[in-house]
């Protein structure tokens, strides 16, 4: 009986170790490594030979069939906003409006809005030059602004569709992506406040020397810059970036009202649902961007389409990696591993929300890739969910939170932060690694609060916001040396 449960889990553990060795030791491409390990694990689990390839193809195709449209259209939308200068307009306008004393909050809000439309790496590369120039102009540390920026980008990446993690996992779990979005925003806001402006104060005490670094963004090459008057208006830039969120939110709220009020379905409701479907919402938003970021600015349609083409070229490998993660997930399900996990936890009191977070966190620390960790978690957790009456949107968010924990040397984001901000290994661990861990743990905390009570979680979010605003805007202590200190222009 003991070996009946342990052997499948041991095979999975060996498979994960092999995956880690192939990626970090032999420097093999992540997608290729995932496919190799999927074959090996499926055979080790005793799957019939005729089912091995079918399982891998089904997992890859099923995953990409759900996400490819949303992911691809989202990449095009983000690139159009960036190439037209819309993202720069959002950032610079908010920075000018908030003023020098509230500069951190300007960076947080700008990064959050930009982070919804742009994938993490793209948002980072786009915003870092802006943060560097603002820090130089105001004579503040780049980390004083960089930590809040990174926190906002990571939170949107972990919790909000159309980012790949929450989008893929929502599809695998069968969660309503609109509810994932609404709950994700509720979770992301206080998480960003904790991991951003509040943690910046702590980081200054842990690694004060890091706040004297000047950074190095030479590797980004020459950045496309705009005169502010050349960019789209602030309002239209924000509307374009947030439009898919608005469409999905309207559809979800309408569904909630319909269910609570017992309203019968009709043609109008069906139309709103169609418009609010993630794929439809992204397509409509892309058409809006064609006009606001292109045609309305007299940009040739060929140039607009070139932006779309380049965005897809940039995410091609990411799509394959997501598909590879789907293949590995399906092997775990078809090989019966998920059923064994479900049996192990039968009759236990552990919340599936905590279990999903824990499994994703372990895989994230081991593998580095948040997307692969999330996909593999789904393969282990899905069979268990049938035993529980649980909010699938919150399980989705918990998986996203777990997959963001403890970014370290096996994660590309770790090295991007280290090199761009000119940090030592210790300083990167003390800033970025801790920031990602705070995002993960606090995200889980807010998810559990949401699971317990929407009112309680709302009160906690308001309290955190008040405390953060007090410390960042009204604190009169003399701890200003690192924030506005000795950084030479």
Each residue's pLDDT tens digit, 226-273: 777 888 999 999 999 889 889 988 988 888 888 777 888 788 889 999
Peptide bond into 162 cis (omega under 30): yes
Are 92 and 130 in contact by the 8 Å Cβ rule? The answer is: yes
More confident call, 273 vs 368: 273
Q: Assess whether pLDDT exceeds 60 at residue 222.
A: no
Q: What's the chain's average pLDDT?
A: 84
List pLDDT tens digits, range 436-457.
Answer: 999 999 999 999 988 887 677 7
Residue 284: band (very low, low, confident or very high) from pLDDT cuts 50, 70, 90: very high
pLDDT (average), residues 215-231: 70
Q: Confidence band (pLDDT; 50, 70, 90) for 172?
A: confident
Cβ burial 38-68 (10 Å sphere, 16+ → b, else e):
bbbbbebbebeeeebeebbebbbebbbebbb
Tell me what percent of the residues of the chain surpass a pLDDT of 70.
90
Does residue 275 have a pLDDT over 80?
Answer: yes
Instruction: Using pLDDT thresholds of 50, 70 and 90, give the confidence band for residue 219.
Output: low
Within 10 angstroms of residue 329's Cβ, the number of other Cβ atoms is: 30
What percent of the chain lies above the pLDDT cut of 90?
34
- Whole-Å CA distances, 241 to 75, 97, 152, 370: 12, 19, 15, 24
Residue 220: which pLDDT band, with cuts at 50, 70 and 90? low
State residue 277 phi and psi, 5-degree precision.
-60, 135
pLDDT in tens, 130-153: 888 788 878 889 999 999 999 999
Q: Which residue has the higher pLDDT, 486 or 181?
A: 181
Q: What is the per-residue pLDDT across 4-18, written as a single tens digit (0 to 9) for each? A: 667 888 898 898 889
Could you tell me the pLDDT band of residue 291, with boundaries at 50, 70 and 90?
A: very high
More confident call, 311 vs 184: 184
With a cut of 50, say whether residue 479 has pLDDT above it. Answer: no
Between 246-255, 343-352, 389-398, the lowest mean confidence (pLDDT) is in 343-352
CA atoms within a 13 Å half-sphere pointing along the CA-CB vector of 43: 6
Least confident among 299-308, 404-413, 460-469: 460-469
pLDDT band at 295 (very low <50, low <70, confident <90, very high): very high
The reported pTM is: 0.78
pLDDT of residue 346: 64
Residue 460 has pLDDT above 80, yes or no: no
Per-residue pLDDT at 379 exceeds 80: yes
369 versus 237: the higher-pLDDT residue is: 237
Reported as a single tens digit per residue, the pLDDT across 89-104 is: 888 888 888 887 888 8
The pLDDT value recorded for residue 224 is 65
pLDDT at residue 471 in the model: 65
Q: Give residue 50's pLDDT.
A: 93
Average pLDDT over residues 409-422: 81
Whether residue 313 has pLDDT greater than 50: yes
> What is the per-residue pLDDT for 395?
95
């Amino acid at each position: 009986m003991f070996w009946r449960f342990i052997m499948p889990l041991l095979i999975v553990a060996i498979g994960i170790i092999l995956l880690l060795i192939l990626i970090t030791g032999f420097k093999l491409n992540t997608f290729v490594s995932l496919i190799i390990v999927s074959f090996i694990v499926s055979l080790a689990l005793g799957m019939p030979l005729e089912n091995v390839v079918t399982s891998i193809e089904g997992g890859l195709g099923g995953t990409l069939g759900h996400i490819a449209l949303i992911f691809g259209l989202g990449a095009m939308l983000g690139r159009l906003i960036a190439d037209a200068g819309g993202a720069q307009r959002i950032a610079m306008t908010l920075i000018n409006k908030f003023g020098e004393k509230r500069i951190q909050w300007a960076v947080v809000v700008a990064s959050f809005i930009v982070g919804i439309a742009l994938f993490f790496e793209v948002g980072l590369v786009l915003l870092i030059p802006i943060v560097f120039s603002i820090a130089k102009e105001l004579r503040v540390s780049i980390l004083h602004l960089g930590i809040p920026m990174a926190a906002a980008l990571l939170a949107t990446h972990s919790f909000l569709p159309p980012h790949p993690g929450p989008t893929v996992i929502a599809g695998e779990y069968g969660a309503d992506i609109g509810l994932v979005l609404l709950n994700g925003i509720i979770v992301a806001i206080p998480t960003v406040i904790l991991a951003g402006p509040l943690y910046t104060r702590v980081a200054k005490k842990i690694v004060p020397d890091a706040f004297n670094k000047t950074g190095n963004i030479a590797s980004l090459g020459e950045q496309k810059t705009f005169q502010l008057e050349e960019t789209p208006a602030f309002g239209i830039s924000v509307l374009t970036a947030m439009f898919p969120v608005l469409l999905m939110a309207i559809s979800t709220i309408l569904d909630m009202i319909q269910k609570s009020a017992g309203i019968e379905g009709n043609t109008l409701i069906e139309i709103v649902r169609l418009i609010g479907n993630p794929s439809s919402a992204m397509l409509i938003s892309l058409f809006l961007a064609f006009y606001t970021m292109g045609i309305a600015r007299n940009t040739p349609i060929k140039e607009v389409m070139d932006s779309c083409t380049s965005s897809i070229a940039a995410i091609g490998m990411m799509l394959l990696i997501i598909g590879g993660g789907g293949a590995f997930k399906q092997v775990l399900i078809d090989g019966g591993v998920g059923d064994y996990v479900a049996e192990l936890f039968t009759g236990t009191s552990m919340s599936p929300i905590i279990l999903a977070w824990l499994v994703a966190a372990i895989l994230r620390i081991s593998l580095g890739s948040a997307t692969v960790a999330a996909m593999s978690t789904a393969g282990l957790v899905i069979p268990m969910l049938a035993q529980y009456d649980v909010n699938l949107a919150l399980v989705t968010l918990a998986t996203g939170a777990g997959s963001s924990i403890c970014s370290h040397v096996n994660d590309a984001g770790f090295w991007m932060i280290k090199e761009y901000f000119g940090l030592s290994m210790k300083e990167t661990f003390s800033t970025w690694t801790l920031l990602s861990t705070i995002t993960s743990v606090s995200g889980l905390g807010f998810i559990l609060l949401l699971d317990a009570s929407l009112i309680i979680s709302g009160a906690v979010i308001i309290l955190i916001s008040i405390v953060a605003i007090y410390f960042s805007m009204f604190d009169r202590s003399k701890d200003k040396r690192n924030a506005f200190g000795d950084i030479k222009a």
